[in-house]
Amino acid sequence: MNTVGHLINGEIITEGTRSQNVFNPATGDATKQVDLASKATVEQAIAAAQAAYPAWRNTPAIKRARIMFKFKELLEKHADQICQMIGEEHGKIGHDAAGELQRGIENVEYACGAPELLKGEHSKNVGPSIDSWSEFQPLGVVAGITPFNFPAMVPLWMYPMALVCGNCFILKPSERDPSSTLFIAQLLREAGLPDGVMNVVNGDKEAVDTLLHDKRIQAVSFVGSTPIAEYIYSTATANGKRCQALGGAKNHAIVMPDADMDNAVNQLLGAAFGSSGERCMALSVAVAVGDVAADALIAKMTAAMKKLKVGAHSDNSNDFGPVITRQHQEKVVGYINSAEEQGARVVVDGRNPEVQGYANGFFVGGTLIDNVTPEMVSYQEEIFGPVLQVVRVETMQQAMDLIDGHEYGNGTCIFTRDGEAARYFSDNIQVGMVGINVPLPVPVAYHSFGGWKRSLFGDLHAYGPDAVRFYTKRKTVTQRWPSAGVREGAEFSMPTMK
Ligand code: NAD
C-alpha cells in the first residue's frame, strides 16, 4: 500500500513510525496509508522554512507573483488528475471537485496581484521635510491547518497569499484525504518556488501541537470544526501567535411566502445535498415562514428529491457521493434517528440508500426532515451530512431570531421577492456571509471569507484583502533628512508638526 509522506525542503520524506489508513469512501476500502509526523519531523520542516525565509523575504514581490502565475497554469494543466485524487479520497463527484479546484485557483489569481496588494501607504511632507509611510512586511514562518472537506480549495485560501507576502509556510492538511493537497504543493517547486519556502507535514494532534507551541511559528490559520478551532485559537494566541480559526456552521435559509418556490427548491437541493452536505456553507436548515410556504416547500422538495443520484465520484451524472468515513456515516444517521425520536417527521429517509456496486461505501441518501424545533439536538449541532431540516415559524422576525439565537453564524440566505424584506434581513442578521436568493454566498477570492459568532475565532477573515493583512505586519516609517544649517536643538515636548 502506498504511503503519503511529507514535503520538507523540496523532498518527499516518510518517517514510517506512525501512520493511519486513508479510505476510498465509495468502496469502503483502505487504499493508502498516511504518515503521521512526529514532533521531530515538524521541527525539521520549521527549520527548513526558517532557513529559506531571509532570501524569500527579500525576493521582489513581482518575482513571487510570477511563480503564482506559473502555479495557476500547472493547476489547470493537472486539474483532471487533482480531481481524481479528491474523488478517490474525499468521495466528491468529478464536477464538484472541479468547482472546488476552480475556487482554489481564483485565490492563486488574486495572489498574482501581490505587487499591487503590497504597495503600502505613503504621505509626503507630514511635517517640514518629513515623509511618512507604512509598509507591510512578512511575518516569517507561518502555518495552516486544514479540514478534509476541501482538500484543494481551503489550503489554497491560505498559502498562495502567505507566500506572495514573503512568508514561508508549513501546511498540516487533513489526514483523511491528504493526496491531492500534497500533490498540489509539489507543483510549486515546478513553478519555481525555492525549496523550503513551502512545506507540508501530514499528521494529527502531535503535529498540530508542535506547530502551536513552536516559537518560530508566527501565525496560524485554521479551518475545521468549532471545538478544534477554539482550541487552536486559545493555544496559538496563548503562545503569542497571530491566529484566525474558522469553525463549523449551521446555515439557515429563510423561505418567505412570496418566494419563487421552484427556484428556492432548486437552490436548496444543491446547497443542502451537494458534496453530501459536507460544506461549511451547506444550507442545512430551511426556515419556512407560514404553513402555506412550509407545505409547498415540503411537497416540491419531496418530489425533487426522488431524482437525486447518489454514487461514486467517477460517474459525473451523480449529484453527490459518500460521506468521509464509516464513523461519520454513523454519526449522520444518529442525528436523523435523534430528530425522529424527539418528534420530528422524516419525510424523505436516506438512512439506508442502495448504491449499486458500492455496498460497503459510506453513503447516506438525501434526507428531508419536517417539524424540527430548536430544542432538538439535530437542530443545535452541525450534522455535516445530506440532511435538510425544516423549521416552521409564523413570521420573518421569528425566523431571524432563530438564526441570531444559534451559536453558529457562518452563512445564511433568504428566498423572497420582497426587496425591502431582503434589505432588512441582510442589514440586521448576525451572520458573516449573507445570500439574497443565493444559497451558497461564498465570497469570491477578492473579498474575504468568514463567519460570525462561534464560526470564527479571531479578527481577520480568510483570503482576499483580509489575508493580505493577516500575513503581513504593518511598519510605519517617519523620515527626515535635515539639510545642513537647519539642525534644531533638542526638543523635550511631544513632537508636533509645526
Ligand atoms: P476537524 O476539526 O476534525 O479537523 C480539522 C483539522 O484539525 C485537521 O487537520 C485535523 O487533523 C486537525 N485536528 C483534528 N482534531 C485535532 C485535535 N484534537 N488537536 C489538534 N488538531 C486536530 O474538521 P474536519 O472534520 O476535517 O472538517 C469539517 C469541519 O470543518 C466542519 O465542522 C466544517 O464546518 C468545518 N469547516 C469550516 C469551514 C469554514 O470556513 N468555516 C470550511 C470548511 C470546513
Cα–chain center distance at 194: 26
Q: Which atom of ligand 1 is nearest to the CA of 203?
A: 11
In the chain, the amino acid numbered 9 is N
The answer to whether the pTM exceeds 0.90 is yes
Decide if pLDDT at 487 tops 80. no
The answer to whether the Cα torsion of 379, 381, 382, 386 is positive or negative is negative
Q: What φ, ψ does residue 454 adopt, rounded to 5°?
A: -85, 20
Kindly give the distance from the C-alpha atom of residue 231 to the centroid of ligand 1, in angstroms, as a whole number. 11
Cα–chain center distance at 478: 38
Q: In what order do the strands lie in the sheet with 472-480?
A: 121-127, 130-138, 472-480
Decide if pLDDT at 486 tops 70. no
Q: Which of 4, 6, 204, 463 to mutate to test the pocket of ligand 1 (most atoms within 8 A of CB)?
A: 204
In total, the chain counts a number of residues equal to: 498
Q: Which atom of ligand 1 is nearest to the CA of 225?
A: 32
> In this predicted model, what pLDDT tens digit does every residue of 220-233 receive, in sequence order?
999 999 999 999 99
Give the Cα separation of 201 and 182 in Å (integer): 9
Kindly give the distance from the C-alpha atom of residue 219 to the centroid of ligand 1, in angstroms, as a whole number. 18
CA angle 122, 467, 428 (to 5 degrees): 100
162's grid cell: 502567505
Q: Are 371 and 392 spatial neighbours (Cβ–Cβ below 8 Å)?
A: yes
Kindly give the distance from the C-alpha atom of residue 229 to the centroid of ligand 1, in angstroms, as a whole number. 7
249 lines ligand 1 (CB under 6 A): yes
Q: Which atom of ligand 1 is nearest to the CA of 384?
A: 31
SS3 assignment, position 445:
coil
Q: Are 218 and 241 spatial neighbours (Cβ–Cβ below 8 Å)?
A: yes
Place of cell 518517517: 15
Give the Cα separation of 366 and 311 in Å (integer): 12
> In this predicted model, what pLDDT tens digit does every residue of 135-187 receive, in sequence order?
999 999 999 999 999 999 999 999 999 999 999 999 999 999 999 999 999 99
In the chain, the amino acid numbered 143 is A
Structural domain spans, the chain: 3-247+455-477, 251-436
Residues above pLDDT 90, as percent of the chain: 95
Domain covering 251-436: architecture: 3-Layer(aba) Sandwich (3.40)
Decide if pLDDT at 495 tops 90. no
358's grid cell: 458500492
The confidence score (pLDDT) of residue 498 equals 63
SS3 assignment, position 331:
helix
Cα–chain center distance at 460: 14
34 lines ligand 1 (CB under 6 A): no
Q: What φ, ψ does residue 388 adopt, rounded to 5°?
A: -110, 125
Assigned CATH class of 3-247+455-477: alpha beta
36 lines ligand 1 (CB under 6 A): no
Helix (H), strand (E) at residue 57:
helix 39-57
410 lines ligand 1 (CB under 6 A): yes
DSSP output for 127-151: ETTEEEEEEEEE-SEEEEE--SS-T
> In this predicted model, what pLDDT tens digit does every residue of 31-85 receive, in sequence order?
999 999 999 999 999 999 999 999 999 999 999 999 999 999 999 999 999 999 9
Kindly give the distance from the C-alpha atom of residue 222 to the centroid of ligand 1, in angstroms, as a whole number. 8
The confidence score (pLDDT) of residue 1 equals 79
Q: Which residue's CA is the nearest one to ligand 1's atom 18?
A: 205
Cα separation values, 428 from 104, 254, 289, Å: 30, 14, 18
The confidence score (pLDDT) of residue 496 equals 79
Q: Are 185 and 158 spatial neighbours (Cβ–Cβ below 8 Å)?
A: no
* Residues recognised as catalytic: 280
Global ipTM: 0.98
Kindly give the distance from the C-alpha atom of residue 225 to the centroid of ligand 1, in angstroms, as a whole number. 4
Burial zone of 60 (CB within 10 Å; 0-12 exposed, 13-18 middle, 19+ buried): exposed
Q: Which atom of ligand 1 is nearest to the CA of 212?
A: 20
Say which residues have a Cβ less than 8 Å from residue 232's Cβ, sequence separation at least 6. 145, 208, 212, 220, 222, 224, 243, 245, 457
Q: Are 429 and 439 spatial neighbours (Cβ–Cβ below 8 Å)?
A: no
Q: Which of 154, 228, 406, 456 to mutate to test the pocket of ligand 1 (most atoms within 8 A of CB)?
A: 228
pLDDT band at 296 (very low <50, low <70, confident <90, very high): very high
275 lines ligand 1 (CB under 6 A): no
389 lines ligand 1 (CB under 6 A): no
In the chain, the amino acid numbered 11 is E
130's grid cell: 518629513
Place of cell 494566541: 237
56's grid cell: 524569500
Give the Cα separation of 22 and 27 in Å (integer): 12
Give the Cα separation of 180 and 454 in Å (integer): 29
The answer to whether the Cα torsion of 107, 109, 113, 114 is positive or negative is positive
9's grid cell: 525542503
415's grid cell: 428566498
Q: Which residue's CA is the nearest one to ligand 1's atom 23?
A: 224
204 lines ligand 1 (CB under 6 A): yes
